Structure 1
Amino acid sequence: MKICLRALIHHFFCLVMSSYSIKDLEGFTGIKAHTLRIWEKRYHVLKPQRTSTNIRTYDDEDLKHILNISILNRHGYRISDIIKLSEKEICEKVMQLSQRCADTHSQIENLLMAMIEMDEEIFHQSFNQSVFKSGFEDTFRYLIFPFLERVGLLWQSGSITPAQEHFVSNLIRQKLIVAIDSIISPRKPDALHFVLFLPEGEWHEIGLLFTHYLIKKWGHYTLYFGTNLPIETIQPVLEKFEISFVVTQFINGICSNDLNRQIQKLAEVSQGKKVLLSGAQIIQKQFDMPSHFYIYEDIDELREIIDIQRA
């Protein structure tokens, strides 16, 4: 008996289907809760369920519907005209817009839709369209990272499930790995050598993978060790190879004392080799860094530091 993979995915999706508040819908669409209530009352664009305490709740179909409406509304369609369209017509117009429009908000909403529905086809279509128009690097800078910021906020508010977040994160991770593998290793005599890793307790590697991609693209050698690596384990690597830079990031929440201890340990292990640091915890907190430590907030700063130290 043949089993339809799409049917299995749909069945699994139904099992993890979420219940959303009106503030959740605001977080997904950017449309104020007050406006959503007006649309609901005046135009019946949403049909919420009610809890025993009379609080509105919305399901995934409501969320997909209002995401599509928000895309059309952002592109000049009046809500009074949108409600005259069938669901099929709304979806068709959204698809037409997505094929010709480079609006970042709409592209992010398409990626949100792909995440909610766990639909690889929608994700690949949106991602590949952006790469075709803007290139791989700018797709990450101006689409993927803003999208992941939205995902992070939705995760913190409990608006998405772990399965949805892992689904889309792994698709993005796969894109980066393929792009990294496609880069030919440098053979230039002045190429620098980089070690990249995330310390113990750090699992979110999309930012580090993108850094890995850029460093290889810029013509340097890399040794990539991935996530959750005890800092002291890189010491033999630094002793064996002529490493120019150690690159790591601190992203997860960590108290100042623990972060300071991690930095001190990294200073001891690096033995004077240049260290490139990034991540929310590093950027937000103020520390007295060793002289061979450099903090970068974005791609431009990263390249500038490398070029200056290389000169």
Structure 2
Amino acid sequence: MNNIKQDFTIRDLENISGIKAHTIRIWEKRYNLLQPRRTETNIRYYTPQNLTKLLNIVLLNNNNYKISKIAAMSEEMITTKSRELAFSVATNDEAINSFKVAMFQFDKILFNNTYNKLLHKKTFREIFKDIFIPFLDHIGLLWQTETLLPAHEHFISNLIAQKIQINTEKLQYSIANTNKTYVLFLPENEIHELGLMYLNYELVLRGNHTIYLGQSLPLNNLSYFLDSNRKICFVTSLTIQPYDDKIEEYFNEIADVMKSTDNQFIAIGRKVEKIQEMDLTDNIKLYKSVSDLLKLL
């Protein structure tokens, strides 16, 4: 965790908030809205508290609060007004911003209130596609730039996972497709499972029989299912694992498992781009995203 930044540059603030660094500096100088600190070598940096305040300011400013009016508020008032606003609005941009604030403040109440407000206007599927997916994509970018603590990502991912699980449990388990079973799993040491969890929800919604195995499954476990009388479609999601120098070896092992069977294997995620040129058998399919796969189901 020590290699993840806990102090933020102005470029970090721009990436997270969507507000240009030039504008942030103007807000600092003209309105004294943020007070960056300086290192011993006089380099400016921002605290997590600065970041949270900026996100609250953006939420207010996007909802017709003038910067001059926000600048006249106390920090406590900015926090209170932004929370009230987050609870009362449910447009996509405001919801995403509210989820950012909830993530950086570890605020479960704000997350749930924002989500429940969205449910008055959108279905769960619409919330996931219109809001959670772009929000998670943004988190991915923050992770790549080392702007995010693992604790932040774990906190918000667990809250979203709870919503997927609750909505999956609500579905009527009337299996329409009795000939095929989808077995969903993640590779060893892979923990990013929200996309796979949502795919499981969509498959169950469509009347499919699924077996959800979750994180970090060794490939040799798949052989157990090949002895079944049912037609099996394995589905995995590749976000971090396998590492680039191991991915061809991983798919060669998959090919060994799948040879001489009528079963299918589907891999989704950004890692599949690394093996597009491999000569794979017809029963192994690759998709860049859950959305791409769902279009064909």
* TM over 0.5, shorter chain: yes
- Show the counterpart of 2:10: 22
1:73 is matched with 61
Which of 252, 257, 262 is the aligned partner of 1:264?
A: 252
Identify if the C-alpha distance between structure 1 residues 273 and 189 changes in structure 2 by more than 3 Å, giving closer, same or farther: closer
Shift of 1:212: 0.6
Letter in 2 for 1:296: Y
1:34 aligns with 2:25: no
Within 1, Cα distance between the matches of 2:15 and 2:292? Answer: 31
Within the candidate set 256, 267, 270, 1:277 is matched to 267
Deviation string, structure 1 residues 51-74 (Cα, Å, up to 9, x no partner) = 111111222221121111112222
Shift of 1:102: 3.2
Match of 2:294 in 1: 303
Moved over 4 A (4+): 253-257
**When the two structures are superposed, what TM-score results if normalisation uses the length of structure 1?**
0.84
Structure with the largest fraction of helix: 1
Q: Is the 8 A contact 2:5 2:147 kept in 1?
A: no
**Amino acid in structure 1 at the alignment position of 2:210:** T
Instruction: Give 1:293's match in structure 2, choosing from 279, 284, 294.
Output: 284
Label 1:241 to 1:202 Cα distance change in 2 as closer, same or farther (>3 A).
farther
**Which stretch of the first structure deviates more once superposed, 117-126 or 187-196?**
187-196
Structure-2 separation of matches of 1:33 and 1:149: 21
Q: Write out per-residue CA displacement over residues 232-278 of structure 1, whole angstroms, 9 at most, x where no aligned residue.
A: 21111122241342111111165555212222222221334122221
Distance 2:174 2:294 in 1: 17
Alignment map for 1:52-91 (pairs within 5 Å) = 52-91=40-79
Residue type at the aligned position of 1:274: Q
Matches within 5 A, 1:127-138: 127-138=115-126
Residue 190 of structure 1 and its aligned partner are, at CA, apart by 4.4
Counterpart of 1:197 in structure 2: which amino acid?
Answer: F
Q: How many Å separate the matches in 2 of 1:283 and 1:141?
A: 22
Q: Kindly indicate which of the two structures has a greater share of residues assigned to strand.
A: 2
SS at match of 1:192: strand
Q: Does 1:184 align with 2:172?
A: yes
More displaced 10-residue stretch of structure 1: 144-153 or 115-124: 144-153
Residue 173 of structure 1 is matched in structure 2 by: 161
Instruction: Map residues 1-20 of structure 1 onto 2, 5 A cutoff.
Output: 18-20=6-8
Whichever residue aligns with residue 295 of structure 1, its letter is: L
- Alignment partner of 1:221 is 2:221: no
CA contact (8 A) 1:191 1:219 kept: no
User: Gaps spanning 5+ residues in structure 1: where?
Assistant: 1-15, 307-311
Secondary structure (helix, strand or coil) at the match of 2:90 reads coil
- In structure 2, how many angstroms separate the alpha carbons of the residues matched to 1:129 and 1:192? 37
Q: How many residues align?
A: 291
TM-score, normalising length: structure 2: 0.88
Letter paired with 1:148: L
Q: CA RMSD in A?
A: 2.4
Residues 82-141 of structure 1 show CA distances to partners (whole Å, capped at 9, x for unaligned) of 212333443444344334433322211111111111111011111222233211112111
Kindly provide the amino acid, as one letter, of the partner of residue 286 in structure 1.
Answer: Q
1:142-153 equivalence runs, <5 A:
142-153=130-141
Mean CA deviation greater in 124-133 or 247-256: 247-256
Q: Which of these residues, 93, 107, 118, is aligned with residue 119 of structure 1?
A: 107
Are the aligned partners of 1:191 and 1:220 in contact in 2 as well (CA < 8 Å)?
no
Q: Decide whether the 8 Å contact of 2:272 with 2:287 is kept in 1.
A: no
